[in-house]
Structure 1
Amino acid sequence: MDILDELRHHENLSVVPEPQLQWLIDSSELVELEDGEYLYRNGTPIDHLWLILKGRLRMFVAQAEGRQTRELGYNEKGYIGGVLPYSRLKTAVANAVAVESTTVLRLHRNKFKEMIQTQDELVQPLVHLMLDRIRDFTKLDQQNEKMISLGKLSAGLAHELNNPAAAVVRSASALKRHLGFEASKFKQVMTIHVSEEQVDKVSELLAQKLQEGPQGTLSLMEKSAREDDLTDWLDDREVENSCEVAESFAEYNITTDDLDQVEEHVSDKYLSPVLNWLNNVLTTEKMVNEIAEASGRIGNLVKSIKEYSHMDGGGDKKKIVLRDGVESTLRILQHKTKSKHIEVAVEMPDHLPLISVSPGEINQVWTNLIDNALDALPEGGKIRIEAEQDRNFIVTRIIDDGAGIPENVINRIFDPFFTTKEVGKGTGLGLEIAQNIVKRHRGQISVKSQPGRTEFSVCLPLDE
């Protein structure tokens, strides 16, 4: 193999003078790898710049305690990797294994000082390559982080939407059955003969109970006792569907005293159809209210999604109420707070001034900080979100009562790819992305932590 000729035609090195390419060859070593042999493993020191002259390497990382892998792709002939001039890379963050017979030209980092001092035209394309690779790699991992966040939010929203959607379907089906035409019931209602005064008495009771609505204050034993009393009253008067009617009446706080008043104004002949008609109206009202409530919950969730993502606002800055973004984020993450029984308190005064931000980006900051707090908290933990104006800034604090961040890692939590979560459960970019967003808004994010209290502070300027 003519290595010099290979380097002359390399897309990144073709502009380098031949003597400097020859210096690279003379200062390096050739490494021959057989199929299945590793160039390096995740976590091992990276001390070489390397270039594939022949063959290819498979790149992957292990996840879930080594039982699964995440494929990063293949590096083919001509690929330059490892540590590059001025790079701070110390250890490998992935595995590189040959998938066929592979030849690698490898330069140790102890040659970098000489290369920088004497081979400047060789250094330049390597530095440019490093910068391009950092830019591409960071962009890819930021996109992965966003997709992971989106997946978490989607799963939570699917769960949150499923409950009210199922309630709508269930109540609509029950209402359809309830309103189904039955000739016998229709005949009973149509043959009722009552005076206007009698109608008014029943209507007054109905209007009163509908206004008061279903009573949720009764205990199960109290409700059961009331149903028993009502059932006995109805059975004594041979009212049809006594159990169903009693259950509905008990829910709307209709007592036997109320029924005694109805009985005073309605003859025994029409008592059963009148009371069943009354039950029919109450049951219909209840089902319609259930559908309205469930539909309202769906509508609020959709509204929260729109507010959270600002789908109609693009990425431009606009004046917003900061609390609105925090609350829409909390609604999006509600499934997580519910599942861990986390208590969340929002103490953000209404009198805080509007602030000019990119709403979608700032909501991503709240998502990353609150989601991290939820992950760190045990079941039954507490989160407090507070805000205040400090001169020309609004300072928002997200405080949790978890175990805290260890002293030996707290200074690294904003570093890219650093995470304290288990393998496969975090990319280590969430806080770095949050910090970059806050910096783009000319703000500052900081953290203080001790056991029982971790506080992230986000300081954002009010003026443009």
Structure 2
Amino acid sequence: MLCIEDLLTLELFKTLPRNRLDWICDRSQILNLSTDEILVSEGDPARGFFIMLSGRMGLTRRSDGMEMPIGQHEAPSFFGEIPILTGDPNPVTVRALTDCHLYQLSSEDFLTLLHECRNFEQVIFKTVAKRSRGLESFIRNREKMAALGTLAAGLAHELNNPAAALVRALRDITPALLELQRMNLVYGQHQVDAEHTAQWIKARDEGYETITHKRIDPMKLSDREDELLDWLEDYGVEDAWKLAGPLAEGGTAIATLEELTARWQDDQTKMGTMGLRWLALSFEVMSMISSGLRGAERIAELVQSMKSYSHLDQGARQLVDIHEGLEDTLRLFSYKIKNGVEIRRSYSPDIPKIWAYGSELNQVWTNLIDNAIDAMNEKGILEIVTTPYSDRIEVQITDSGSGIPQEIKSRIFEPFFTTKAVGKGSGLGLEVVRRIVEIRHQGSITVDSQPGKTQFTICLPIG
């Protein structure tokens, strides 16, 4: 049985009269836990108020499918008050790190004690505030890390293709250039007249222009490649299929090839064949360079988007272009958007830049866009509208998902409230959005939802 001397080892009980201490001792039930035994699990309803006299308890919370340690209780201590007071499920899992000896007071008895003993009530609420701040701070940091992880995964996904194209171009271009140099030396030894050389150079330059700027339609390209392949085989070119693709990409006409090779039709040195190979290889090198350049530009664009998104090299508060922030966020989410989400933009050209915390506003766009994509199961319409007013700007983010049930609509901005499964959401994403918009920027955020249309409206002051 719990004794008064044990209770008085905790500051919480020292203000209670003797009769109340006796009452607690009479109504408490003894619990003994072995190492690694779970007392309560995250998501369970309130089980009671616990007084631990020996041992150590670990607190964990599921995040991205993993149990994350967030704190400990070491004897003598008490815990369990938060789910009793809020009526919400347990926010954490409590597990014995050592053998533990503790007592349990029912939720009803704890509330009776709380309501009848003012000093006890004050200490409890101070403890609740402190513990809630600690839990909120931890989860908010986890939210930021999770958002960063999501963006990092998307960035890695988007960087993969252009990086591979750049590596492939750099790897293949060296042997091609060496072969071109060899061909130039051989060609020079045959002392071809300048006029004929100029014809080959003209054909090459026109092909370069087509490859870098004109880009032939894929269907036409395929047809032209088949025609060139037939002609090259008739001409007697070995492995003609290797030349047909580059020559087709360069837009080379059969009439041009006939004109270039006419003088070598019966030449045993096969200068005509070498000339065709030289032309095709020149186009192939240009295609490699163009592909590598596009890959490098895409990488630079993504890096710039990430830099702009995080507002690196800038002060905490600066003039922010709302459209740039929205576009940077969309680019970093492109891996989730490209397969089934249609983006509809209606950006007002009159939106001014505003003084704001740029990286924090991008957290707002990240949370709202990510939630919208999830709500649509990555298939649907995401609409973004910006509107200026005399004293504020308005951003509306609308998705075509299933909507927010009316019975929980008023709770979505509450800390720790989430409709997602345990470990899938912390319930702080929208709370972070509200805090950044309303507290950091003195703005407002509202939501209107029905099946097929959920619209978040963010108002930010211009001044």
Do they superpose with TM above 0.5? yes
CA distance in 1 between partners of 2:377 and 2:363 (Å): 23
CA distance in 1 between partners of 2:73 and 2:403 (Å): 41
Aligned to 1:145: 143
Q: Deviations over 1:248-301 (max 9, x none)?
A: 111121121221232357776432222222222211111011111101111111
Q: Secondary structure at the match of 1:207?
A: helix
Aligned to 1:20: 16
Go from structure 1 to structure 2 and tell me whether the alpha carbon gap of 1:246 and 1:83 turns closer, same or farther (over 3 Å shift): same
Give matches, 1:131-142, under 5 Å.
131-142=129-140
CA distance in 2 between partners of 1:42 and 1:181 (Å): 67
CA distance in 2 between partners of 1:384 and 1:183 (Å): 54
Go from structure 1 to structure 2 and tell me whether the alpha carbon gap of 1:85 and 1:372 turns closer, same or farther (over 3 Å shift): closer
Give matches, 1:322-401, under 5 Å.
322-338=322-338, 340-401=339-400
Q: Secondary structure at the match of 1:20?
A: coil
**Structure with the larger RCO, 1 or 2 (CA within 8 Å, 6+ apart):** 2
Q: Runs of 5+ in structure 1 lacking a partner?
A: none
CA distance in 2 between partners of 1:21 and 1:312 (Å): 60
**Post-superposition offset of 1:189:** 2.4
Go from structure 1 to structure 2 and tell me whether the alpha carbon gap of 1:398 and 1:2 turns closer, same or farther (over 3 Å shift): closer
Retained in 1: the 8 A contact 2:246–2:281?
no
**Post-superposition offset of 1:102:** 1.3
Aligned to 1:451: 451
The letter for the 2-side match of 1:380 is K
Q: Percent identity at matched positions?
A: 32
Q: Secondary structure at the match of 1:295?
A: helix
Retained in 2: the 8 A contact 1:47–1:90?
no
Aligned to 2:164: 166
The letter for the 1-side match of 2:302 is L
Q: Deviations over 1:123-151 (max 9, x none)?
A: 44333222211211110110111111111
Retained in 2: the 8 A contact 1:52–1:104?
yes
CA distance in 1 between partners of 2:156 and 2:385 (Å): 29
Aligned to 1:175: 173
Q: Secondary structure at the match of 1:347?
A: strand
TM-score normalised by the chain length of structure 1: 0.87
Which segment drifts farther, 368-377 or 206-215?
A: 206-215
Give matches, 1:263-274, under 5 Å.
263-264=261-262, 269=267, 270-274=271-275
The letter for the 2-side match of 1:352 is I
Pairwise CA RMSD: 3.0
1:199 matched to 2:197? The reply is yes
CA distance in 2 between partners of 1:182 and 1:397 (Å): 57
Go from structure 1 to structure 2 and tell me whether the alpha carbon gap of 1:142 and 1:132 turns closer, same or farther (over 3 Å shift): same
Retained in 2: the 8 A contact 1:376–1:403?
yes
The letter for the 2-side match of 1:372 is N
Retained in 2: the 8 A contact 1:85–1:123?
no
Q: Secondary structure at the match of 1:213?
A: helix
**Post-superposition offset of 1:63:** 8.3
Retained in 2: the 8 A contact 1:368–1:434?
yes
The letter for the 2-side match of 1:273 is M
Retained in 2: the 8 A contact 1:326–1:363?
yes
Q: Runs of 5+ in structure 2 lacking a partner?
A: none
Which segment drifts farther, 154-163 or 93-102?
A: 93-102
The letter for the 1-side match of 2:288 is M
Retained in 2: the 8 A contact 1:87–1:130?
no
The letter for the 2-side match of 1:283 is E
Q: Deviations over 1:140-165 (max 9, x none)?
A: 11011111111111111111111111
Aligned to 1:309: 310
CA distance in 2 between partners of 1:43 and 1:181 (Å): 68
Go from structure 1 to structure 2 and tell me whether the alpha carbon gap of 1:402 and 1:265 turns closer, same or farther (over 3 Å shift): farther
Give matches, 1:103-252, under 5 Å.
103-104=102-103, 106=105, 108-116=110-118, 120=119, 122-181=120-179, 185=183, 187-213=185-211, 216-220=215-219, 222-239=220-237, 241-252=239-250
The letter for the 2-side match of 1:305 is M
Go from structure 1 to structure 2 and tell me whether the alpha carbon gap of 1:229 and 1:139 turns closer, same or farther (over 3 Å shift): same
TM-score normalised by the chain length of structure 2: 0.87
Aligned to 1:284: 285
Which segment drifts farther, 174-183 or 256-265?
A: 174-183
Q: Secondary structure at the match of 2:384?
A: strand
Aligned length: 450
Give matches, 1:399-414, under 5 Å.
399-414=398-413
CA distance in 2 between partners of 1:62 and 1:324 (Å): 34
Q: Deviations over 1:144-195 (max 9, x none)?
A: 1111111111111111111111111112112123224589745532323222
